Amino acid sequence: MPTSAIVRLPQPEFMGEVAVEQALLRRRSVRSFDQAALFMAELSQLLWAAQGITSARGYRTAPSAGAIYPLEVYALVGLMPELSAGVYRYRCREHALVPILSGDKRGDLCRAALAQRCVGKAPLVLLISAVYARMTATYGERGVRYTDMEAGHAAQSVSLQAVALGLGSVVVGAFDESDVREIAGLPPEEVPLYLIAVGR
């Protein structure tokens, strides 16, 4: 899959029909999904919730110590009619995707996630990884804590956005790190922290 073929995402919506309080009330871990596709507009909104740009200064939806932003987000697409199955890296500044690997990786990802079926059945799995060195260069060892906190902020934003879209999601932390890194084609400096399975 050529990395030059950047996929532009639809512009995210900034006004929704579900109040934050309702999203918080209704958020649950959903581990069973219909075999129904997701669409580009939904993927766009979920990625924007994770790490979207919210100001001309480059601030994002999730707070980051020192505005350093050590996180990377990937979409592992399985069932989307508007996008080929594969692994894509989210570029928040362009609100676009860069293809990394082609093909449906959900089966491999399910095995890497200790055979959790939700990972294999969801039409979409988001992967949040971290480059700890970005944060520790400024904050030393405490930067590890700040990075992990930021990943939690991003995952919660995705979970609440899923509710607002009428979707289900579940965050998954139990997986073989080296296997997930290989499946998603992560560079060696990135550490996978979260899988977020999303579907109907």
pLDDT in tens, 71-115: 999 999 999 999 999 999 999 999 999 999 999 999 999 999 999
pLDDT for residue 198 is more than 60: yes
Query: How far apart are the C-alpha atoms of 177 and 182, rounded to whole Å?
Result: 9
What count of other Cβ atoms lies within 10 Å of the Cβ of residue 132? 18
The domains located in the chain, with CATH, are 16-199 (3.40.109.10)
Taking residues 122-146, what's their average pLDDT?
98
| Cβ density class 184-195: b for 16+ within 10 Å, e for less | bebeeebbbbbb
What integer pLDDT is reported at residue 4 of this predicted model? 57
**Structure confidence by residue, pLDDT tens digits, 9-68:** 999 999 999 999 999 999 999 999 999 999 999 999 999 999 999 999 999 999 999 999
| Strand locations in 12-92 (E) | 71-77, 86-91
What count of other Cβ atoms lies within 10 Å of the Cβ of residue 169? 29
Query: How far apart are the C-alpha atoms of 68 and 143, rounded to whole Å?
Result: 10
Tokens 């998603």: give the residue. 184
Q: Taking the model in full, what pTM does it have?
A: 0.95
